[in-house]
Copies of this chain bind each other. A is one copy, B any other.
Amino acid sequence: MHVETEATQHLHRAARTARHASHVLARSSETERNEALRAMAAALRARQSEILDANAADLAASTATAAFRDRLTLTGPRIEAMATGLEDVAGLPDPLARTLAEWTRPNGLDIQRIATPIGVIGMIYESRPNVGADAAALCVKSGNAVILRGGSESVNSARAINAALTDGLRQAGLPEAAVQIAPTADRAYVAAMLGAAGLIDLIIPRGGKSLVERVQREARVPVLAHAEGLCHTYVHAAADPHMARAIVANAKMRRTGICGATETLLIDAAIAPSLLPELARDLRELGCDFRADAAARAIVPEMKEASAADFDTEWLDAVLSVAVVDGVDAALDHIARHGSEHTDAIVTEDAAAAERFLRGVDSAVALWNASTQFCDGGEFGFGAEIGIATGRIHARGPVGLEQLTTYRYIVRGTGQVRP
Protein backbone atom coordinates (compact mmCIF):
# COMPACT_ATOMS: atom_id res chain seq x y z
CA MET A 1 0.00 0.00 0.00
CA HIS A 2 2.84 2.34 0.88
CA VAL A 3 4.54 1.52 -2.41
CA GLU A 4 1.37 2.24 -4.34
CA THR A 5 0.95 5.58 -2.62
CA GLU A 6 4.50 6.52 -3.48
CA ALA A 7 4.02 5.46 -7.09
CA THR A 8 0.78 7.43 -7.28
CA GLN A 9 2.40 10.54 -5.83
CA HIS A 10 5.26 10.28 -8.30
CA LEU A 11 2.91 9.71 -11.22
CA HIS A 12 0.73 12.65 -10.28
CA ARG A 13 3.77 14.93 -10.15
CA ALA A 14 4.99 13.53 -13.46
CA ALA A 15 1.58 14.00 -15.07
CA ARG A 16 1.37 17.61 -13.94
CA THR A 17 4.76 18.48 -15.41
CA ALA A 18 3.77 16.51 -18.52
CA ARG A 19 0.57 18.58 -18.78
CA HIS A 20 2.56 21.78 -18.70
CA ALA A 21 4.99 20.39 -21.29
CA SER A 22 2.06 19.37 -23.50
CA HIS A 23 0.79 22.95 -23.52
CA VAL A 24 4.23 24.18 -24.61
CA LEU A 25 4.39 21.48 -27.30
CA ALA A 26 0.89 22.29 -28.53
CA ARG A 27 1.96 25.89 -29.17
CA SER A 28 5.40 24.99 -30.59
CA SER A 29 6.15 25.31 -34.27
CA GLU A 30 6.67 22.39 -36.60
CA THR A 31 10.30 23.47 -36.93
CA GLU A 32 10.87 23.39 -33.17
CA ARG A 33 9.40 19.89 -32.87
CA ASN A 34 11.42 18.59 -35.82
CA GLU A 35 14.63 20.13 -34.47
CA ALA A 36 13.97 18.45 -31.15
CA LEU A 37 13.55 15.08 -32.89
CA ARG A 38 16.85 15.54 -34.75
CA ALA A 39 18.61 16.59 -31.54
CA MET A 40 17.16 13.52 -29.81
CA ALA A 41 18.60 11.34 -32.59
CA ALA A 42 22.01 12.99 -32.26
CA ALA A 43 21.96 12.50 -28.49
CA LEU A 44 21.15 8.80 -28.90
CA ARG A 45 24.23 8.45 -31.11
CA ALA A 46 26.39 10.50 -28.73
CA ARG A 47 25.34 8.40 -25.76
CA GLN A 48 25.61 5.05 -27.53
CA SER A 49 28.24 3.59 -25.18
CA GLU A 50 26.28 4.60 -22.07
CA ILE A 51 23.15 3.02 -23.52
CA LEU A 52 25.01 -0.19 -24.37
CA ASP A 53 26.46 -0.34 -20.84
CA ALA A 54 23.01 0.11 -19.33
CA ASN A 55 21.65 -2.58 -21.63
CA ALA A 56 24.46 -4.93 -20.61
CA ALA A 57 23.41 -4.44 -16.98
CA ASP A 58 19.81 -5.32 -17.88
CA LEU A 59 20.97 -8.42 -19.76
CA ALA A 60 23.21 -9.49 -16.88
CA ALA A 61 20.26 -9.28 -14.50
CA SER A 62 17.88 -11.09 -16.83
CA THR A 63 17.04 -14.76 -16.53
CA ALA A 64 14.74 -14.75 -19.54
CA THR A 65 14.53 -17.04 -22.56
CA ALA A 66 16.77 -16.57 -25.57
CA ALA A 67 13.93 -15.06 -27.65
CA PHE A 68 13.13 -12.59 -24.91
CA ARG A 69 16.82 -11.73 -24.47
CA ASP A 70 17.04 -11.01 -28.15
CA ARG A 71 14.19 -8.52 -27.91
CA LEU A 72 15.88 -6.94 -24.89
CA THR A 73 19.33 -6.68 -26.50
CA LEU A 74 20.59 -3.39 -27.92
CA THR A 75 23.51 -3.14 -30.35
CA GLY A 76 25.18 -0.29 -32.18
CA PRO A 77 23.05 -0.88 -35.28
CA ARG A 78 19.88 -1.08 -33.19
CA ILE A 79 20.67 2.27 -31.56
CA GLU A 80 21.44 3.70 -34.98
CA ALA A 81 18.05 2.40 -36.17
CA MET A 82 16.34 4.19 -33.27
CA ALA A 83 18.15 7.42 -34.18
CA THR A 84 17.23 7.07 -37.84
CA GLY A 85 13.65 6.40 -36.80
CA LEU A 86 13.54 9.72 -34.94
CA GLU A 87 14.92 11.52 -38.00
CA ASP A 88 12.39 9.79 -40.23
CA VAL A 89 9.57 11.04 -38.01
CA ALA A 90 11.04 14.54 -38.19
CA GLY A 91 10.69 14.29 -41.96
CA LEU A 92 7.00 13.36 -41.92
CA PRO A 93 4.27 15.97 -42.53
CA ASP A 94 3.10 17.88 -39.45
CA PRO A 95 -0.08 16.17 -38.18
CA LEU A 96 -1.08 19.40 -36.41
CA ALA A 97 -1.13 21.44 -39.63
CA ARG A 98 -4.46 20.05 -40.72
CA THR A 99 -7.81 21.78 -41.08
CA LEU A 100 -10.16 18.80 -41.03
CA ALA A 101 -13.26 20.72 -42.12
CA GLU A 102 -14.41 24.29 -42.59
CA TRP A 103 -17.82 25.75 -43.31
CA THR A 104 -19.77 28.99 -42.95
CA ARG A 105 -23.16 29.13 -41.27
CA PRO A 106 -26.07 31.19 -42.64
CA ASN A 107 -25.50 33.68 -39.79
CA GLY A 108 -21.94 34.25 -41.04
CA LEU A 109 -20.09 32.26 -38.40
CA ASP A 110 -17.03 30.58 -39.92
CA ILE A 111 -16.37 27.21 -38.29
CA GLN A 112 -13.07 25.35 -38.60
CA ARG A 113 -12.35 21.88 -37.22
CA ILE A 114 -8.59 21.69 -36.69
CA ALA A 115 -6.23 18.95 -35.56
CA THR A 116 -4.82 19.38 -32.06
CA PRO A 117 -2.72 17.18 -29.77
CA ILE A 118 -4.44 14.77 -27.38
CA GLY A 119 -2.39 16.03 -24.42
CA VAL A 120 -0.67 13.58 -22.07
CA ILE A 121 -0.26 10.00 -23.27
CA GLY A 122 0.70 7.06 -21.09
CA MET A 123 2.56 4.32 -22.92
CA ILE A 124 2.84 0.93 -21.21
CA TYR A 125 5.03 -1.58 -23.03
CA GLU A 126 7.04 -4.67 -22.45
CA SER A 127 10.51 -5.82 -23.39
CA ARG A 128 11.90 -4.01 -26.46
CA PRO A 129 13.68 -0.85 -25.26
CA ASN A 130 13.37 0.81 -28.69
CA VAL A 131 9.58 1.07 -28.28
CA GLY A 132 10.15 3.95 -25.86
CA ALA A 133 12.15 5.97 -28.37
CA ASP A 134 9.69 5.24 -31.19
CA ALA A 135 6.73 6.27 -29.05
CA ALA A 136 8.50 9.41 -27.86
CA ALA A 137 9.19 10.41 -31.46
CA LEU A 138 5.55 10.07 -32.52
CA CYS A 139 4.29 11.86 -29.41
CA VAL A 140 6.66 14.83 -29.69
CA LYS A 141 5.92 15.19 -33.40
CA SER A 142 2.18 15.21 -32.72
CA GLY A 143 2.53 17.69 -29.84
CA ASN A 144 1.80 15.23 -27.04
CA ALA A 145 3.71 14.70 -23.83
CA VAL A 146 4.32 11.04 -22.98
CA ILE A 147 4.98 9.05 -19.84
CA LEU A 148 6.71 5.79 -20.71
CA ARG A 149 6.52 2.70 -18.54
CA GLY A 150 8.62 -0.06 -20.07
CA GLY A 151 9.21 -3.58 -18.89
CA SER A 152 11.02 -4.15 -15.60
CA GLU A 153 13.78 -6.09 -17.42
CA SER A 154 14.77 -3.06 -19.48
CA VAL A 155 14.73 -0.41 -16.78
CA ASN A 156 18.42 0.55 -17.10
CA SER A 157 18.23 0.67 -20.89
CA ALA A 158 15.08 2.80 -20.71
CA ARG A 159 16.75 5.24 -18.35
CA ALA A 160 19.79 5.64 -20.56
CA ILE A 161 17.63 6.12 -23.67
CA ASN A 162 15.47 8.63 -21.83
CA ALA A 163 18.52 10.63 -20.77
CA ALA A 164 19.43 10.97 -24.45
CA LEU A 165 15.89 11.93 -25.47
CA THR A 166 15.61 14.63 -22.82
CA ASP A 167 19.07 15.91 -23.85
CA GLY A 168 17.66 16.46 -27.31
CA LEU A 169 14.52 18.18 -26.04
CA ARG A 170 16.58 20.53 -23.87
CA GLN A 171 18.93 21.39 -26.71
CA ALA A 172 15.94 22.29 -28.88
CA GLY A 173 14.44 24.47 -26.16
CA LEU A 174 11.45 22.21 -25.54
CA PRO A 175 10.54 21.01 -22.04
CA GLU A 176 12.26 17.83 -20.88
CA ALA A 177 9.04 16.83 -19.13
CA ALA A 178 7.55 16.13 -22.57
CA VAL A 179 9.15 12.65 -22.42
CA GLN A 180 9.34 10.97 -19.03
CA ILE A 181 9.87 7.42 -17.82
CA ALA A 182 8.57 5.60 -14.80
CA PRO A 183 11.20 5.82 -12.04
CA THR A 184 10.56 2.25 -10.95
CA ALA A 185 9.52 -1.00 -12.52
CA ASP A 186 6.87 -1.54 -9.84
CA ARG A 187 3.54 -2.77 -11.05
CA ALA A 188 2.13 -0.13 -8.71
CA TYR A 189 3.24 2.47 -11.21
CA VAL A 190 1.09 0.88 -13.89
CA ALA A 191 -1.83 0.95 -11.46
CA ALA A 192 -1.19 4.63 -10.81
CA MET A 193 -1.16 5.36 -14.55
CA LEU A 194 -4.37 3.41 -15.12
CA GLY A 195 -6.09 5.35 -12.34
CA ALA A 196 -4.95 8.80 -13.43
CA ALA A 197 -8.28 10.06 -14.78
CA GLY A 198 -7.97 13.67 -15.85
CA LEU A 199 -4.18 13.56 -15.57
CA ILE A 200 -3.42 11.17 -18.42
CA ASP A 201 -5.64 11.57 -21.48
CA LEU A 202 -4.94 8.27 -23.20
CA ILE A 203 -3.21 5.01 -22.29
CA ILE A 204 -1.62 2.96 -25.06
CA PRO A 205 -0.67 -0.55 -23.96
CA ARG A 206 1.65 -2.58 -26.15
CA GLY A 207 2.43 -6.08 -25.09
CA GLY A 208 0.99 -9.50 -24.48
CA LYS A 209 -2.57 -10.45 -23.88
CA SER A 210 -2.32 -10.32 -20.09
CA LEU A 211 -0.99 -6.75 -20.11
CA VAL A 212 -3.67 -5.54 -22.50
CA GLU A 213 -6.40 -7.30 -20.53
CA ARG A 214 -5.17 -5.82 -17.25
CA VAL A 215 -5.15 -2.37 -18.78
CA GLN A 216 -8.66 -2.75 -20.18
CA ARG A 217 -9.94 -4.08 -16.85
CA GLU A 218 -8.36 -1.51 -14.55
CA ALA A 219 -8.12 1.67 -16.58
CA ARG A 220 -10.07 4.75 -15.52
CA VAL A 221 -8.41 6.54 -18.42
CA PRO A 222 -9.34 6.11 -22.10
CA VAL A 223 -7.38 3.25 -23.68
CA LEU A 224 -6.26 2.75 -27.25
CA ALA A 225 -5.85 -0.96 -27.01
CA HIS A 226 -3.99 -3.36 -29.18
CA ALA A 227 -5.72 -6.65 -28.42
CA GLU A 228 -5.93 -9.84 -30.45
CA GLY A 229 -5.49 -10.10 -34.17
CA LEU A 230 -7.40 -13.18 -35.17
CA CYS A 231 -7.13 -12.59 -38.89
CA HIS A 232 -8.72 -14.59 -41.69
CA THR A 233 -7.91 -15.09 -45.33
CA TYR A 234 -10.92 -16.27 -47.32
CA VAL A 235 -10.11 -17.93 -50.64
CA HIS A 236 -13.24 -17.51 -52.71
CA ALA A 237 -14.48 -19.89 -55.43
CA ALA A 238 -13.35 -17.45 -58.11
CA ALA A 239 -9.84 -16.98 -56.70
CA ASP A 240 -6.87 -17.08 -59.04
CA PRO A 241 -5.09 -20.20 -57.69
CA HIS A 242 -1.62 -18.83 -58.26
CA MET A 243 -2.44 -15.56 -56.47
CA ALA A 244 -4.17 -17.42 -53.65
CA ARG A 245 -1.08 -19.56 -53.04
CA ALA A 246 1.21 -16.53 -52.91
CA ILE A 247 -1.12 -14.54 -50.63
CA VAL A 248 -1.90 -17.37 -48.21
CA ALA A 249 1.78 -18.31 -47.83
CA ASN A 250 2.71 -14.70 -47.17
CA ALA A 251 -0.27 -13.93 -44.90
CA LYS A 252 0.48 -16.93 -42.68
CA MET A 253 4.23 -17.46 -42.84
CA ARG A 254 6.05 -14.18 -43.67
CA ARG A 255 6.11 -13.46 -39.95
CA THR A 256 3.93 -15.59 -37.75
CA GLY A 257 4.28 -13.50 -34.58
CA ILE A 258 2.67 -10.24 -35.74
CA CYS A 259 -0.95 -9.36 -35.14
CA GLY A 260 -1.71 -9.09 -38.88
CA ALA A 261 -0.65 -12.69 -39.54
CA THR A 262 -3.47 -14.87 -40.83
CA GLU A 263 -4.57 -17.40 -38.22
CA THR A 264 -7.43 -19.04 -40.10
CA LEU A 265 -7.79 -20.01 -43.74
CA LEU A 266 -11.35 -20.10 -44.98
CA ILE A 267 -11.56 -21.87 -48.30
CA ASP A 268 -14.61 -22.02 -50.47
CA ALA A 269 -16.17 -25.47 -50.93
CA ALA A 270 -16.17 -24.93 -54.70
CA ILE A 271 -12.42 -24.52 -54.98
CA ALA A 272 -11.19 -26.51 -51.98
CA PRO A 273 -10.87 -29.91 -53.71
CA SER A 274 -8.49 -28.54 -56.34
CA LEU A 275 -6.70 -25.80 -54.37
CA LEU A 276 -6.48 -26.91 -50.74
CA PRO A 277 -3.95 -29.68 -51.41
CA GLU A 278 -1.65 -27.19 -53.13
CA LEU A 279 -2.05 -24.58 -50.34
CA ALA A 280 -1.34 -27.25 -47.73
CA ARG A 281 1.75 -28.44 -49.58
CA ASP A 282 3.11 -24.87 -49.91
CA LEU A 283 2.59 -24.15 -46.25
CA ARG A 284 3.93 -27.47 -45.03
CA GLU A 285 7.13 -26.80 -46.95
CA LEU A 286 7.38 -23.50 -45.05
CA GLY A 287 7.03 -25.39 -41.77
CA CYS A 288 3.35 -24.75 -41.09
CA ASP A 289 1.12 -27.10 -39.12
CA PHE A 290 -2.70 -27.31 -39.49
CA ARG A 291 -5.88 -27.57 -37.43
CA ALA A 292 -8.63 -28.39 -39.90
CA ASP A 293 -12.37 -29.02 -39.85
CA ALA A 294 -13.87 -32.26 -41.15
CA ALA A 295 -14.55 -30.95 -44.66
CA ALA A 296 -10.95 -29.82 -45.06
CA ARG A 297 -9.62 -33.09 -43.67
CA ALA A 298 -11.75 -34.98 -46.16
CA ILE A 299 -9.64 -33.29 -48.85
CA VAL A 300 -6.26 -33.24 -47.07
CA PRO A 301 -6.40 -36.05 -44.48
CA GLU A 302 -2.88 -35.36 -43.16
CA MET A 303 -4.06 -32.15 -41.49
CA LYS A 304 -4.73 -32.44 -37.75
CA GLU A 305 -8.30 -32.22 -36.52
CA ALA A 306 -9.35 -28.82 -35.18
CA SER A 307 -10.87 -28.56 -31.72
CA ALA A 308 -13.76 -26.18 -31.13
CA ALA A 309 -11.39 -23.67 -29.52
CA ASP A 310 -8.88 -23.67 -32.38
CA PHE A 311 -10.93 -21.26 -34.50
CA ASP A 312 -10.85 -18.80 -31.60
CA THR A 313 -7.08 -19.10 -31.15
CA GLU A 314 -4.55 -16.45 -32.18
CA TRP A 315 -1.67 -18.84 -32.86
CA LEU A 316 1.10 -16.26 -33.42
CA ASP A 317 3.00 -19.30 -34.60
CA ALA A 318 3.41 -21.60 -37.64
CA VAL A 319 -0.05 -23.07 -37.15
CA LEU A 320 -3.08 -22.47 -39.37
CA SER A 321 -6.72 -23.21 -38.64
CA VAL A 322 -8.54 -24.33 -41.79
CA ALA A 323 -12.27 -24.42 -42.49
CA VAL A 324 -14.24 -25.02 -45.66
CA VAL A 325 -17.09 -22.52 -46.14
CA ASP A 326 -19.84 -22.29 -48.70
CA GLY A 327 -19.92 -18.81 -50.19
CA VAL A 328 -19.22 -15.26 -49.10
CA ASP A 329 -22.00 -15.10 -46.51
CA ALA A 330 -20.77 -18.26 -44.78
CA ALA A 331 -17.27 -16.77 -44.67
CA LEU A 332 -18.68 -13.55 -43.19
CA ASP A 333 -20.62 -15.56 -40.60
CA HIS A 334 -17.50 -17.47 -39.59
CA ILE A 335 -15.54 -14.23 -39.24
CA ALA A 336 -18.32 -12.53 -37.26
CA ARG A 337 -18.37 -15.49 -34.85
CA HIS A 338 -14.64 -16.07 -34.46
CA GLY A 339 -12.82 -12.95 -35.64
CA SER A 340 -11.45 -10.03 -33.66
CA GLU A 341 -12.42 -7.18 -36.04
CA HIS A 342 -8.73 -6.71 -36.80
CA THR A 343 -7.78 -7.66 -40.37
CA ASP A 344 -9.48 -10.00 -42.83
CA ALA A 345 -8.93 -10.65 -46.52
CA ILE A 346 -10.69 -12.16 -49.51
CA VAL A 347 -8.92 -13.58 -52.55
CA THR A 348 -11.12 -13.57 -55.63
CA GLU A 349 -11.35 -12.43 -59.25
CA ASP A 350 -15.10 -11.79 -58.78
CA ALA A 351 -15.48 -8.08 -58.04
CA ALA A 352 -19.08 -8.42 -56.82
CA ALA A 353 -18.08 -11.13 -54.34
CA ALA A 354 -15.15 -9.00 -53.20
CA GLU A 355 -17.32 -5.92 -52.62
CA ARG A 356 -19.86 -8.01 -50.72
CA PHE A 357 -17.06 -9.24 -48.46
CA LEU A 358 -15.45 -5.82 -48.02
CA ARG A 359 -18.81 -4.24 -47.11
CA GLY A 360 -19.91 -7.11 -44.91
CA VAL A 361 -16.88 -7.60 -42.75
CA ASP A 362 -16.52 -5.12 -39.89
CA SER A 363 -12.78 -5.36 -39.38
CA ALA A 364 -10.46 -2.41 -38.93
CA VAL A 365 -8.81 -3.49 -42.17
CA ALA A 366 -10.54 -5.48 -44.94
CA LEU A 367 -8.39 -6.48 -47.91
CA TRP A 368 -9.10 -7.76 -51.40
CA ASN A 369 -6.36 -9.74 -53.13
CA ALA A 370 -3.61 -8.78 -50.73
CA SER A 371 -1.86 -10.27 -47.69
CA THR A 372 -3.24 -9.57 -44.20
CA GLN A 373 0.34 -8.75 -43.20
CA PHE A 374 -0.15 -5.33 -44.85
CA CYS A 375 -1.98 -4.18 -41.70
CA ASP A 376 0.91 -1.98 -40.64
CA GLY A 377 1.45 1.77 -40.28
CA GLY A 378 4.54 1.70 -42.46
CA GLU A 379 2.78 -0.26 -45.21
CA PHE A 380 -0.14 2.19 -45.01
CA GLY A 381 2.28 5.03 -45.62
CA PHE A 382 2.01 6.51 -42.13
CA GLY A 383 5.80 6.59 -41.86
CA ALA A 384 5.70 5.13 -38.38
CA GLU A 385 3.16 3.58 -36.05
CA ILE A 386 2.73 3.29 -32.33
CA GLY A 387 0.55 0.17 -32.57
CA ILE A 388 -2.61 -1.27 -34.10
CA ALA A 389 -5.84 -0.20 -32.42
CA THR A 390 -8.50 -2.84 -31.95
CA GLY A 391 -11.14 -0.77 -30.16
CA ARG A 392 -13.97 0.89 -32.01
CA ILE A 393 -13.68 4.55 -31.12
CA HIS A 394 -11.15 7.30 -31.92
CA ALA A 395 -8.92 5.12 -34.10
CA ARG A 396 -9.01 1.69 -35.71
CA GLY A 397 -6.13 -0.15 -37.33
CA PRO A 398 -2.61 1.26 -37.59
CA VAL A 399 -2.05 4.21 -35.22
CA GLY A 400 0.24 6.80 -36.74
CA LEU A 401 0.69 10.51 -36.21
CA GLU A 402 -2.84 11.49 -37.29
CA GLN A 403 -4.37 9.05 -34.81
CA LEU A 404 -2.34 10.66 -32.01
CA THR A 405 -4.21 13.89 -32.58
CA THR A 406 -7.74 14.96 -31.74
CA TYR A 407 -9.60 18.04 -32.90
CA ARG A 408 -11.14 21.26 -31.73
CA TYR A 409 -13.22 24.01 -33.29
CA ILE A 410 -12.33 27.60 -34.04
CA VAL A 411 -15.33 29.81 -34.73
CA ARG A 412 -14.85 33.30 -36.13
CA GLY A 413 -17.72 35.78 -36.00
CA THR A 414 -18.51 39.45 -36.37
CA GLY A 415 -20.55 39.96 -33.24
CA GLN A 416 -23.12 37.18 -33.61
CA VAL A 417 -25.34 36.40 -30.65
CA ARG A 418 -27.62 33.39 -30.41
CA PRO A 419 -31.32 34.17 -30.90
Contacts and interface: CB of A to CB of B under 8 A. Distances in A.
A415 B216 contact: no
Task: Give the number of copies in the complex.
Answer: 2
B370 A416 contact: yes
Given A202-B393, A393-B201, A394-B394, A367 B217 contact: no
B396 A406 contact: yes
Contact of A410 (B358, B391, B394, B406): B358
Nearest to A201: B392
A202 B394 CA distance: 11
A403 to B, nearest CB: 10
A408 B363 contact: yes
A416 B366 CA distance: 14
Interface residues of A, number: 67
A97 interface: no
Contact of A417 (B371, B381, B391): B371
Interface stretch (A103-111, A173-181, A305-313): A103-111
A103 B417 CA distance: 41
Interface in A365-407: 365-371, 373-374, 376, 379-381, 391-394, 396-397, 406-407
A322 interface: no
A281 interface: no
A63 interface: no
A21 to B, nearest CB: 13
Interface stretch (A9-17, A49-57, A147-155, A240-248): A240-248
A278 to B, nearest CB: 16
A138 to B, nearest CB: 16
A166 B416 CA distance: 41
Given A363-B408, A392-B406, A397-B408, A417 B220 contact: no
A135 interface: no
Contact of A373 (B240, B243, B418): B418
A117 to B, nearest CB: 9
A222 interface: yes
A362 B365 CA distance: 32
Given A111-B381, A222-B391, A370-B412, 11 more contacts: A23-B336, A26-B362, A105-B380, A118-B392, A246-B415, A249-B417, A365-B408, A369-B416, A373-B417, A374-B413, A393-B406
13 contacts: A243-B415, A247-B415, A358-B410, A365-B408, A366-B408, A366-B409, A367-B411, A370-B416, A379-B418, A393-B393, A394-B394, A394-B406, A396-B409
